[in-house]
């Protein structure tokens, strides 16, 4: 297949990609961008396409992989696994803040200490969940069953609640 034939066939298939792109992105502008990027990658990598195979499936695979890669970049950029980034430095509870913020610093030190005391197998999924990872993402990254992830987060919360019960509201 010549480059001109390939270009012609791919351009005719572009309108069929748009609904699938919209299903992935749920935004019309993002869907247009995804289709455009898919077509660009297809043209750049046309030598990898094997004549006689399903071109439409090949294009959908490129589009799905492009979407997944973009999603992973966005989630990695917005979160990290450094535990120092997870802790808020200013407690929202006014009872924990003295005029000079000394009480708040003591509370924060207690929180850090309680988190550090958690076993690694509980601390890691808990901190990942705290910064915004979904259960499924945590399960995939840690290569654990989703039920195990949920259980470990529950146990971490339970241990932290017990360790920090001195800061509980006394309503």
Is 36 inside a domain boundary? yes
Asked if residue 155 and residue 106 are part of one domain, the reply reads yes
pLDDT of amino acid 147: 93
Report the distance separating Cα 100 and Cα 98, nearest Å: 5
Q: Render pLDDT for 11-37 as a digit per residue (tens, 0 to 9).
A: 888 899 999 999 988 888 888 999 999
Lowest mean pLDDT among 9-13, 42-46, 74-78: 74-78
Its domain, for residue 69, covers: 3-78
Asked if residue 161 and residue 110 are part of one domain, the reply reads yes
Is 132 inside a domain boundary? yes
pLDDT of amino acid 11: 87
Is 25 inside a domain boundary? yes
Is 90 inside a domain boundary? no
Is 39 inside a domain boundary? yes
Is 24 inside a domain boundary? yes
Is 96 inside a domain boundary? no
Alpha-helical runs (H) found in the chain: 3-25, 28-44, 55-78, 102-117, 120-130, 135-142, 146-163
Q: Which long-range contacts (CB under 8 A, 24 or more apart) does 1-4 make?
A: 1/49, 1/51, 3/46
Report the distance separating Cα 95 and Cα 159, nearest Å: 23
pTM: 0.45
Report the distance separating Cα 107 and Cα 96, nearest Å: 7
Is 84 inside a domain boundary? no
Asked if residue 59 and residue 27 are part of one domain, the reply reads yes
Count of domains observed in the chain: 2
């Amino acid at each position: 297949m010549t480059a001109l034939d390939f270009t012609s066939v791919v351009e005719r298939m572009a309108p069929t990609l748009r609904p699938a792109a919209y299903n992935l992105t749920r935004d019309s502008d993002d869907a247009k961008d995804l289709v455009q990027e898919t077509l660009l990658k297809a043209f750049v990598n046309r030598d990898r396409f094997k004549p006689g195979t399903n071109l439409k499936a090949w294009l959908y695979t490129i589009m799905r992989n492009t979407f997944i890669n973009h999603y992973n970049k966005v989630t990695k950029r917005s979160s990290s696994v450094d535990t120092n980034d997870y802790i808020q430095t200013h407690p929202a509870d006014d009872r924990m803040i003295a005029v000079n913020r000394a009480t708040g610093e003591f509370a924060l030190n207690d929180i850090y200490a309680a988190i550090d005391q958690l076993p690694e197998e509980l601390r890691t999924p808990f901190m990942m969940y705290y910064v915004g990872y979904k259960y499924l993402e945590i399960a995939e990254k840690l290569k654990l069953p989703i039920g195990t992830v949920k259980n470990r987060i529950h146990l971490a919360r339970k241990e932290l609640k017990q360790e920090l019960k001195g800061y509980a509201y006394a309503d």
